[in-house]
Amino acid sequence: MMKTRDRVLWVLAGVAFLVGAVGVVQRVLTGHTGAAYGSYVPWGLWVGIYTMLVGMSAGAFLLVSMVLAFRIERLAGIVRLGVVVAGATFAGGMLAVWIDLGDPLLAWRLYLATGFTSIMGWMAWFYAAFAVVLVILAWQVIWRGRTSASPAVQRLGVIGAVLAIVFAGGEGALFGVVGARDFWNSGLTPILFLVEGALSGIALVTFVGLLFGVVSDSVGRVLGRIVLGALLVLIVVEFAELSIGIYASIPAYAASVELVLAGPYWWAFWIIHVLLGVAIPLALLLFAPGRRLAIAGAAALIAVTALSTKLNLVITALAVPEIEELRGAYTGPGLRWDYFPTLMEWLVGLWILAVVALVVLAGQWLLRRRPSMTEAA
Amino acid sequence: MLVANNPDVLAGLDTDASRRKFLSRFASATFAGLVAPAVLLTEFERKGGPAPAAAAAPADIVPLPDLPDAIAGQDLILRMMVDLRRALEKPIEQRRWAMIIDLRKCTGCVGCTIACVTENKLPPGIAYRPVLTETSGTYPNVSRRFVPRPCMQCDQPPCVPVCPVNATWKRPDGIVAIDYDKCIGCRYCITACPYSARSFDSGYFYSDFEGGDPQPYETVAAHEYNTDRIRRRDAAPVGKARKCHFCIHRVERGELPACIVSCMGRAGYFGDANDSTSLVSELLGQPNVMRLKEELGTEPKVYYLV
């Protein structure tokens, strides 16, 4: 019989799905005219959600891969859940970017007419390869009940680890190679994406594992330490990225950084990201490392606030005009730099996150119905 | 004597006659004003004296180079059209289209922007060629400069290699083109252009802001890239990246880009930079040529005379 907690989660996810579906219907009926992105800020909330979810997927898969590749028996219990989380977030990310396309029905061209000079072209194939490895691994560990003792599963873990690093970093490279945007154009961008992805993905697996009681207190403490380590690395990389930018004395770059730190959405950085996403989790993990609730709270905060990190990176780089005088040159819909998502964009975003939540819930339900297939078995 | 009985006064009040007289005097004065300096200058030079302007200019100021003349008796537009037709006789890979904009002559009328919107049937929010206004100095020493910004048709276009589906490319004649039927609308190219010269067609119609169905002028076929596309909400180029293409559909018919022919100040020039006898080649030899963001190494083919 379903627990009250699970029932509440299903209802919440279901309501979010239905409410968000209104936005999806609007997206289908009105195309892109209901969105706030346009020619000057061409990427918005959905691209932020896509980068967040794909990064999370890479992070979750990285954790699973490490457990399998290095045969970390102590963490074997989170492998199946990690695969479910990686699959759900990956599906959500793909859904977000697909909805964001101007012509989603032409997405097949990414595979049949790939432009290999484009990082995005390569990423399409990395995603396909990742999906294949993910499906095979899910089949092995969920359907066939194989554990990390199986050589086939170990090999998949190694391949998956390499692939997760490549595509999480590649996702950062997708932004990093854009020389026209000073804020993105940095060798640190792929590293930042990799670290952010690893942190948010591992945090999400930790939170979901603790929420559903999949991981014990001792495993939770180990995961908490991994999350803490990733968080510290993120702080170092992010500090390097922002401080170099602000001291670089290149006005365009500094303008983007200043927009993040003191622009109209300063609160997204200082309150959502720094306070809720970094400071409080850091304090919880440092000062209450043995408490299940503290670890779960820290992991949840990191996972939930991951979106603000991505939006700060994606949107602020675009919110600085490449030629300042364009501001007054020609006006019209889509010719603005002060992007803020419309209701339709928020609703579609909610719908995508609801889909991810429903897949995780369904996956958890499936895992429970097959208790004999757990790693412990 | 009553005014009504005085013939002189009545003659003076003859409005037709007085207007004719005024216009005649005004025309004479205007003509004299225009012709006199030239006559005087010619007369002065004939006698071996220096030109008054040069005499008045301080020694350290070098006068800006003069613009090349049109072929005798021809407008510059006609000369450019002759250049254009000559270029079209060559194989496409031997052409190198270039545009030059004389910022000293641009009045900021945005006629080119409107001509472009009209020619390409552009929807709300899309302008291939906005005109930027640069203001410099502080009061009372303030000046303004108008900078039209079409697509730069870069020789090293950053927007091309980022396309994940090969929907945009540099043609043999240097024009950076988009295939609307191949573009998936990912907008990566828009982020990659350092000149913000690419736009995203969200699918607006002017009638969206006025109510009602699309107006007839919104459903007239556009001829971009030699096609006849009637704008529809569910068909390309809605949802695609768009940009200036130097009106290549006109150029290949032997016509100049819409922005060039519409410029009332004759501030725009267009032609084949590979043809040493063309007007643009002549202008490119001037020392006062510059390009936008030249330091990026994108090698734009839009030049500005400053």
> Given this model, what pLDDT does residue A247 score?
81
> Given this model, what pLDDT does residue B56 score?
43
Structural contact between residues B301 and B97, judged by C-beta atoms closer than 8 angstroms = yes
Structural contact between residues B151 and B176, judged by C-beta atoms closer than 8 angstroms = yes
Q: Looking at the complex, does the CB of residue A108 fall below 8 Å from at least one CB of chain B?
A: no
Structural contact between residues A39 and A334, judged by C-beta atoms closer than 8 angstroms = yes
Structural contact between residues B257 and B99, judged by C-beta atoms closer than 8 angstroms = yes
Task: State pTM to two decimals.
Answer: 0.86
> Given this model, what pLDDT does residue B72 score?
60
Residue A60 has pLDDT above 90, yes or no: yes
Residue A354 has pLDDT above 60, yes or no: yes
DSSP H/E element including A137? helix A119-138
CA distance A132 to chain B (A): 21
> Given this model, what pLDDT does residue A315 score?
85
CA distance A240 to chain B (A): 24
Question: Which domains does chain A possess?
Answer: 41-323+336-373 (1.20.1630.10)
B293 CB neighbour count, 10 Å cutoff: 15
CB contacts of A117 in chain B (<8 Å) are 160-162
Taking an 8 Å cut-off on Cβ atoms, the answer to whether B162 and A43 are in contact is no
Q: Looking at the complex, does the CB of residue A230 fall below 8 Å from at least one CB of chain B?
A: no
Taking an 8 Å cut-off on Cβ atoms, the answer to whether B196 and A33 are in contact is no
CA distance A79 to chain B (A): 34
Q: Looking at the complex, does the CB of residue A109 fall below 8 Å from at least one CB of chain B?
A: yes
Average pLDDT over residues A267-293: 92
- C-alpha to C-alpha distance for A120 and A123, rounded to whole angstroms: 5
> Given this model, what pLDDT does residue A4 score?
86
- C-alpha to C-alpha distance for B293 and A321, rounded to whole angstroms: 14
Of residues B293, B277, B259, B213, the one with CA closest to residue B113: B259
Of residues A66, A119, A59, A126, the one with CA closest to residue A94: A126
Q: Which tokens hold the place of A331? A: 């006006």
> Given this model, what pLDDT does residue A20 score?
98
> Given this model, what pLDDT does residue B13 score?
40
Structural contact between residues B83 and B260, judged by C-beta atoms closer than 8 angstroms = no
Question: Considering only A4-13, A288-297, A319-328, B61-70, which range has the smallest mean pLDDT?
Answer: B61-70
Nearest neighbour of B204 by CB, restricted to A33, A106, A325 = A33
> Given this model, what pLDDT does residue B301 score?
97
Tell me the count of A-B CB pairs closer than 8 A. 161
Q: Looking at the complex, does the CB of residue A177 fall below 8 Å from at least one CB of chain B?
A: yes
Structural contact between residues B84 and B272, judged by C-beta atoms closer than 8 angstroms = yes
Contacts of A125 (CB under 8 A, 6+ apart): A111, A114
- C-alpha to C-alpha distance for B276 and B11, rounded to whole angstroms: 64
To test the contact with chain A by mutation, choose from B136, B156, B165 the residue with the greatest count of A C-beta atoms within 10 A, namely B165
- What whole-number percentage of chain A has pLDDT above 90? 62
Helices (H) and strands (E) in chain B, counts: 9, 10
Contacts of A192 (CB under 8 A, 6+ apart): A172, A234, A237, A238, A241, A313
Q: Residues, chain A, total?
A: 377
Question: Cα–Cα–Cα angle for A216, A221, A226, nearest 5°?
Answer: 125
CA nearest to A120 within chain B: B164
- C-alpha to C-alpha distance for B285 and B303, rounded to whole angstroms: 11
A23 CB neighbour count, 10 Å cutoff: 22
Chain segment A179-235, per-residue pLDDT in tens: 888 888 888 999 999 999 999 999 999 999 999 988 888 999 999 999 999 999 999
DSSP per position, A72-97? -GGGGGGHHHHHHHHHHHHHHHHHHH
- C-alpha to C-alpha distance for A170 and A58, rounded to whole angstroms: 11
Structural contact between residues A163 and A129, judged by C-beta atoms closer than 8 angstroms = yes
Of residues A13, A38, A32, A7, the one with CA closest to residue A315: A38
DSSP per position, A168-213? HHHHHHHHHT-TT-TTT-STHHHHHHHHHHHHHHHHHHHHHHHHTT
Residue B42 has pLDDT above 60, yes or no: no
ipTM: 0.92
Of residues B129, B83, B126, B131, the one with CA closest to residue B105: B131
Question: Which domains does chain B possess?
Answer: 3-56 (no CATH), 76-305 (3.30.70.20)
Question: Considering only A320-329, B58-67, B271-280, which range has the smallest mean pLDDT?
Answer: B58-67
At A58, is the secondary structure helix, strand, or coil?
Answer: helix
Residues 233-272 of A with CB under 8 A from B: none
Higher-confidence residue: B200 or A252?
Answer: B200
- C-alpha to C-alpha distance for A110 and A123, rounded to whole angstroms: 9
Residue B129 Cα to chain centre, angstroms: 9
Residue B15 has pLDDT above 70, yes or no: no
> Given this model, what pLDDT does residue B64 score?
56
Of residues B86, B65, B130, the one with CA closest to residue B284: B65
CA distance A228 to chain B (A): 34
Chain segment B246-296, per-residue pLDDT in tens: 999 999 999 999 999 999 999 999 999 999 999 999 999 999 999 999 999
> Given this model, what pLDDT does residue A277 score?
95
Chain segment A137-154, per-residue pLDDT in tens: 999 888 887 777 788 888
With the CA atoms of B241, B246, B247 and B250 taken in that order, what torsion angle do they form, in degrees rounded to the nearest 10? -150
Q: Tell me, what amino acid is at A72? A: I
CA distance A171 to chain B (A): 13
Residues 274-313 of A with CB under 8 A from B: none
- What whole-number percentage of chain A has pLDDT above 70? 97
Structural contact between residues B215 and A117, judged by C-beta atoms closer than 8 angstroms = no
At B199, is the secondary structure helix, strand, or coil?
Answer: strand
Residue A140 Cα to chain centre, angstroms: 25
> Given this model, what pLDDT does residue B54 score?
39
Taking an 8 Å cut-off on Cβ atoms, the answer to whether B161 and A330 are in contact is no
CB contacts of B170 in chain A (<8 Å) are none
Chain segment A75-106, per-residue pLDDT in tens: 888 999 999 999 999 999 999 999 999 999 99
Residues 329-358 of A with CB under 8 A from B: 329-330, 332-335
To test the contact with chain A by mutation, choose from B117, B191, B233 the residue with the greatest count of A C-beta atoms within 10 A, namely B191
CB contacts of B167 in chain A (<8 Å) are 109
Residue B6 has pLDDT above 60, yes or no: no
Question: Considering only A203-217, B22-36, B63-77, which range has the smallest mean pLDDT?
Answer: B22-36
DSSP conformation class of A139: I
CA nearest to A180 within chain B: B194
Strand partners, B97: B272
Chain segment B136-173, per-residue pLDDT in tens: 999 999 999 999 999 999 999 999 999 999 999 999 99
Chain segment B172-196, per-residue pLDDT in tens: 999 999 999 999 999 999 999 999 9
- What whole-number percentage of chain B has pLDDT above 70? 76
Q: Which tokens hold the place of A308? A: 């603000």
CA distance B130 to chain A (A): 6
Average pLDDT of chain A to the nearest whole number: 90
Average pLDDT over residues A331-351: 94
> Given this model, what pLDDT does residue A252 score?
66
Residue B20 has pLDDT above 60, yes or no: no
Average pLDDT over residues B213-218: 88
Q: Which tokens hold the place of A45? A: 């909330």
CA distance A121 to chain B (A): 4
